[in-house]
Amino acid sequence: MKRPKEQAKLVFLGLLRTVSALAGTAESSRVVESSWQAWKQPALTLRLARRTDVPSIQRCNLATLPENYNAAFYTQHLRQWPELSLVVVEETPSNTFGSFPGSPSQPESNVVAYVLGRIDSRTIPVVPTSSHALWSTQQVYQREEFGHITSLAVSHEYRRQGLAGELMEQLHYQLQKHYRVPRVGLHVRQSNQPAVTLYQQKFGYEPAEKIPNYYQDGEDGYYMVKSLPPIVESYQSRLPFSYQPGLFRVGGKMALPRLVGRPVGDVVDTESTTSTGSAVSSEGELLNGHL
């Protein structure tokens, strides 16, 4: 028979093992819960827009900007300039793994920010470069292509996280890589001084022209321009395909592909009107500067 002192020691060791096991179980539970919470956290992905993003792009536009477009406008834009249509999408487990590829109902995307660009052109006179041309009476013209920012929007709850900067930088890169345009322009309301300051100080745009009565309500607009130097082809650094809100990458752009051809099954209306039925303006109003 064991002595009371030895029995007490054995009881103490047993209790110690039990406490340790319970502590380990609690710690494991905390790790599992932490991992589960981290997995449920939404991540943001910057990518080319898709036809299925149109409803979500339209909602983002309606919630943030005074100039609005119908779904046909966005569909047509994605068809004409697919590599200049960029979105930031909130990815969660429900919309990432909600259905299998090829299933009848794919989960709808949640676009929290977007930018749409396009290519414009104009006819400009050619400056004579030879003595013969200097004495010629016939003026020679050529067409110049340049980029244009059609619309840029960031959902209110995702502002001040650098998303507008990411979108603009990537769009500038897309314009340089795929179209080799020397410059890009945009329009902004004269009264929208925060946006004017934002485009000047953060994105490098400068006011080039004041356009009277540019907007539908009669307000004047500024046309702002930014020069785009040629890109260095050997520079192939990339930004992450997804990142958590509030975290910033360090340099580089994604080598987003150039798309050829039309999305299958797209049907575009000939008229572009707002959801209320009135004709849309030629440009969407851009950011209000509160990022």
Task: List the chain pLDDT tens, one digit each, 291 residues.
Answer: 556 666 666 666 666 666 566 555 555 455 445 544 544 556 888 999 999 999 999 999 999 888 888 999 999 999 999 999 999 998 765 555 444 445 444 556 799 999 999 999 876 666 666 555 555 666 666 778 999 999 999 999 998 888 999 999 999 999 998 899 999 999 999 999 988 998 999 999 999 989 999 998 899 999 999 999 876 654 444 444 443 333 333 334 555 555 443 333 333 333 333 333 323 333 444 444 334
The CA distance from 153 to 173, in Å, is 19
Q: In the 3-class helix/strand/coil scheme, how is 193-240 assigned residue by residue?
A: HHHHHHHHHCCCCEEEEEECCCCCCCCCEEEEEEECCCCCCCCCCCCC
Q: Angle, nearest 10°, between helix axes 54-64 and 71-80?
A: 120
Cα(149)–Cα(172) distance, integer angstroms: 10
Using DSSP, state whether 54 is helix, strand or coil.
helix
Q: What is the pLDDT of residue 76?
A: 93
Look up residue 13 and give its two tokens: 């060791």
Kind of pairing between the strands at 242-243 and 206-211: unpaired
Alpha-carbon span 217 to 211, nearest angstrom? 13
How many other CB atoms are found less than 10 A from the CB of residue 243?
18
Residue 189, phi then psi, degrees to nearest 5: -65, 145
pTM exceeds cut of 0.85: no
Counting runs of H as helices and runs of E as strands, what totals does the chain give?
7, 8
Which tokens sit at 280? 């849309």
CA distance 214 to 229: 29
Q: How far apart are CA 125 and CA 193, in angstroms?
A: 34
Which strands form 183-189's sheet, in the order they lie side by side? 206-211, 221-227, 183-189, 141-154, 111-125, 85-91, 43-48, 242-243
CATH of domain 39-97+107-291: 3.40.630.30
pLDDT at position 131, please? 55
**Is residue 274 a contact partner of residue 68, using CB atoms and an 8 Å limit?**
yes
- Give CA–CA dist 31/36, Å, rounded: 8
DSSP state of 53: G
